[in-house]
């Protein structure tokens, strides 16, 4: 055996580390573990809400549940405004995964431009964006069938108005969020709206909604509201004012029907109108409720209040003769004229034939403060109490700033402005034996107490004068109704343009029936009738007759006159009120 074979290799001696290195490594590991423990405790104990929200966002989301808006009905429960379920398409841009072809199809289904859809999905930071709202069910279903991750349905409600343009100005409309924007929808928003709820949904990894987990907060539906409106009367009033405007080639027209006993608005309509079911809104002028928001000079419809003020003050009686100066009278350098001149008239004849000179004499017999007080107490220059959005106050100037010509012109309806609802309400003083009734647009189940303005005697004396207006010799024979006594007053006023009166007119008529015990008041106003006929007795009185006559029969109100009581003046005779 060789010497090399006999040698054995010795194993290398192990490397010995310094003791301090082992201790350092142990301390580092211990510190790292401690840091992890502290971080874990911090995240789970003090920052858990943030982490949970981030985790939940990856698989769940809370979305709003729209509340069902309350229904608006007429006084008998007929629906005037209802909310029906519709589907809206929404998306979480971060979750949307779609090919260009899918997005093209989605844009086509939703009737969106490609650029518009891309813009909605561009912001990846948004967790919720509407792609298209309030779709018909078939279109919504087409969008869902594309199965694009991150795109889902959301149930909402859309408002529908069965009466369309017939009730448009009164009801107004809601916006895309089903919140009131105009009219009673806006006024009654708090009652109708309800309270939205929310629900939690679970999404899969591709963003599809796979399950509704729970209602976080159930929606609270809105309250139904019953209006004072009578749907049948509303349609009747709308039809007649539309026919009047169109047949006289007028600019516009309005009509109001009041319950004379309690001030409930049974009908209120304007023409031109619009369809609130159409989301494309017309011009603001078309959407205005002219019967409430627009002012006009009432003309001769103010004369009964002038006569009532003089009667109440004890200055005259109905048969008192007034010197009407053969139809021309000068006040403060201004000449006041009558179309039909007479040397004298009784107070009743002044109202019957609508004498400006006679009304001026009655007004000037009173101290300005007394005359102003009577007009103010009858509701002029004040809101009606309807609370309709945008209602106009009207204009009744302070008597301290009057000069004699102001008092004179106000006696026959110039220099004072009203809205049609305000004028109709004022006539409740003659229908209710001197008591002014508060106006309401909602059904009134409890009788309201009115305000005493004139004595019972004064109110009845004026009402008797108003009956003469519709008889032959008065200004409105066309306001008569077969089988009923009618009381009312015409008005024909020049319009102001740039501070000057021009040859454009407002034709009006306000009346009540049955005159023996008035149940209804109808006020009609036609703006700028064109052609030869522009007097209130020619343009507005027939509208009153048609609406009032049909309404009395619909309500089965007993006749207070024999059938065949309508008496017309000789053919060709026209008696127009002074303008």
Rg (CA), the chain: 38
Burial readout 412-439 (b: 16 or more C-beta within 10 A, e: otherwise)? bbbbbbbbbbbbbbbbbbbbbbbbbbbb
Per DSSP, helices labelled H in 439-507 are: 456-469
- Residue 271's DSSP bridge partners are 253
pLDDT, the chain, mean: 88
Count the neighbouring beta carbons within 10 Å of the beta carbon of residue 209.
Answer: 16
142 or 409, which is more confident: 409
94 or 212, which is more confident: 94
Residue 47 burial by CB count (10 A; 0-12/13-18/19+): exposed, middle or buried? exposed
Q: Can you give the pLDDT at residue 205?
A: 53
- Residue 488's DSSP bridge partners are 511
Give the whole-angstrom CA distance, residue 543 versus residue 377. Answer: 29
Q: What is the pTM of this model?
A: 0.84
Give the whole-angstrom CA distance, residue 531 versus residue 43. Answer: 85
Give the whole-angstrom CA distance, residue 397 versus residue 383. Answer: 15
3-state helix, strand, coil in the chain (%, to 5): 35, 25, 40
**What's the distance, Cα to Cα, between the start and end of the chain in Å?**
153
Q: Can you give the pLDDT at residue 467?
A: 98
- Residue 116: pLDDT over 60: yes
Give, as one character, the DSSP assignment of residue 418: B
Q: Can you give the pLDDT at residue 42?
A: 67
Angle (nearest 5°) at CA 416 between 448 and 531: 105
Backbone angles phi, psi at 336, to 5 degrees: -105, 130
- Residue 49: pLDDT over 70: no
269 or 578, which is more confident: 269
Give the whole-angstrom CA distance, residue 247 versus residue 414. Answer: 27
What percentage of the chain has pLDDT greater than the value 70?
88
Contact indicator for 530, 248 with CB cutoff of 8 Å: yes
Per DSSP, helices labelled H in 123-196 are: 137-145, 168-171, 183-187, 189-193
How long is the chain?
579
Give the whole-angstrom CA distance, residue 97 versus residue 106. Answer: 13
Mean pLDDT for 152-166 is 89
- Residue 55: pLDDT over 60: no
Q: Look at 18-22, 27-31, 440-444, 494-498 and tell me which has the smallest mean pLDDT.
A: 18-22
SS3 563: coil
Contact indicator for 467, 517 with CB cutoff of 8 Å: no
Backbone angles phi, psi at 308, to 5 degrees: -65, -40
pLDDT band at 45 (very low <50, low <70, confident <90, very high): low
- Residue 562: pLDDT over 90: yes
Q: Can you give the pLDDT at residue 50?
A: 59
Give the whole-angstrom CA distance, residue 408 versus residue 378. Answer: 18
Contact indicator for 134, 156 with CB cutoff of 8 Å: yes
Number of helical H runs and strand E runs in the chain: 22, 19
- Residue 9: pLDDT over 80: no
Contact indicator for 62, 102 with CB cutoff of 8 Å: no
Catalytic residues: 300
55 or 310, which is more confident: 310
Q: Are strands 265-271 and 334-337 parallel, antiparallel or unpaired?
A: unpaired
- Residue 72's DSSP bridge partners are 81, 225
Give the whole-angstrom CA distance, residue 405 versus residue 403. Answer: 6
Q: Can you give the pLDDT at residue 449?
A: 84
Q: Can you give the pLDDT at residue 102?
A: 82
Please choose, from the candidates 105, 125, 128, 127, the residue with its C-alpha nearest in 3D space to the C-alpha of residue 117: 105
Q: Look at 79-88, 402-411, 463-472, 557-566 and tell me which has the smallest mean pLDDT.
A: 79-88
């Amino acid at each position: 055996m060789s010497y090399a074979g006999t040698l054995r290799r010795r194993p290398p001696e192990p490397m010995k580390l310094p003791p301090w290195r082992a201790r350092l490594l142990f301390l580092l590991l211990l510190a790292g573990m401690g840091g992890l423990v502290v971080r874990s405790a911090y995240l789970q104990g003090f920052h858990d809400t943030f982490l949970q929200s981030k985790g939940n966002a990856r698989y769940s989301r809370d979305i709003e549940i729209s509340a069902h808006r309350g229904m608006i009905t007429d006084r008998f429960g007929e629906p005037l405004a209802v909310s029906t379920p519709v589907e809206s398409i929404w998306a979480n841009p971060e979750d949307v995964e779609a090919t260009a072809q899918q997005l093209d199809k989605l844009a086509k289904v939703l009737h969106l431009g490609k650029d518009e859809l891309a813009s909605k999905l561009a912001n990846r930071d948004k967790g919720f964006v509407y792609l298209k709202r309030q779709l018909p069910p078939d279109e919504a279903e087409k969008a869902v069938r594309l199965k694009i991750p991150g795109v889902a349905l959301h149930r909402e409600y859309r408002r529908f108005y069965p009466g369309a343009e017939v009730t448009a100005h009164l009801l107004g409309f809601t916006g895309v969020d089903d919140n009131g924007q105009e009219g009673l929808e806006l006024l009654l928003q708090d009652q109708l709206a309800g309270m939205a709820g929310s629900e939690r949904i679970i999404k899969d990894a591709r963003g599809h909604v796979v399950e509704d987990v729970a209602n976080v907060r159930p929606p609270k539906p809105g309250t139904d509201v019953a209006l004072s409106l009578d749907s049948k009367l509303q349609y009747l009033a709308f039809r007649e004012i539309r026919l009047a405007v169109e047949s006289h080639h007028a600019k516009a027209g309005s009509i109001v029907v009041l319950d004379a006993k309690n001030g409930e608005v049974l009908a209120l309509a304007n023409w031109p109108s619009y369809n609130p079911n159409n989301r494309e809104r017309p011009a603001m002028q078309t959407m205005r409720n002219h019967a409430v928001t627009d002012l006009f000079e009432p003309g001769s419809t103010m004369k009964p209040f002038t006569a009532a003020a003089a009667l109440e003050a004890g200055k005259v009686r109905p048969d008192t003769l007034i010197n009407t100066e053969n139809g021309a009278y000068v006040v403060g350098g201004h000449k006041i004229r009558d179309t039909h001149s007479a040397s004298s008239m009784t107070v009743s004849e002044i109202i019957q034939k609508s004498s400006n000179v006679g009304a001026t004499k009655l007004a000037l017999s009173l101290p300005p403060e007394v005359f102003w007080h009577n007009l103010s107490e009858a509701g002029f220059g004040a809101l009606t109490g309807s609370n309709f959005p945008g209602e106009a106050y009207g204009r009744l100037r302070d008597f301290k700033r009057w000069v004699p010509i102001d008092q004179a012109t106000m006696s026959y309806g110039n220099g004072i402005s009203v809205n049609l609802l305000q004028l109709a309400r004022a006539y409740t003083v003659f229908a209710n034996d001197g008591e002014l009734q508060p106006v309401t647009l909602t059904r009134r189940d409890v009788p309201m107490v009115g305000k005493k303005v004139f004595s019972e005697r004064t109110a009845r004396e004026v009402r008797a004068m108003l009956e003469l207006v519709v008889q032959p010799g008065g200004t409105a024979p066309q306001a008569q109704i077969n089988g009923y006594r009618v009381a009312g007053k015409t008005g024909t006023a020049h319009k102001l343009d740039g501070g000057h009166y021009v040859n454009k007119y407002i034709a009006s008529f306000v009346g009540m029936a049955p005159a023996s015990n008035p149940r209804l008041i109808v006020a009609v106003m036609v703006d700028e009738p064109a052609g030869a006929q522009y007097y209130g007795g020619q343009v507005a009185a027939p509208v009153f007759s048609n609406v009032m006559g049909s309404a009395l029969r619909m309500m089965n109100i007993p006749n207070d006159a024999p059938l065949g009581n309508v008496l017309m003046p000789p053919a060709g005779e026209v008696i127009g009120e002074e303008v």
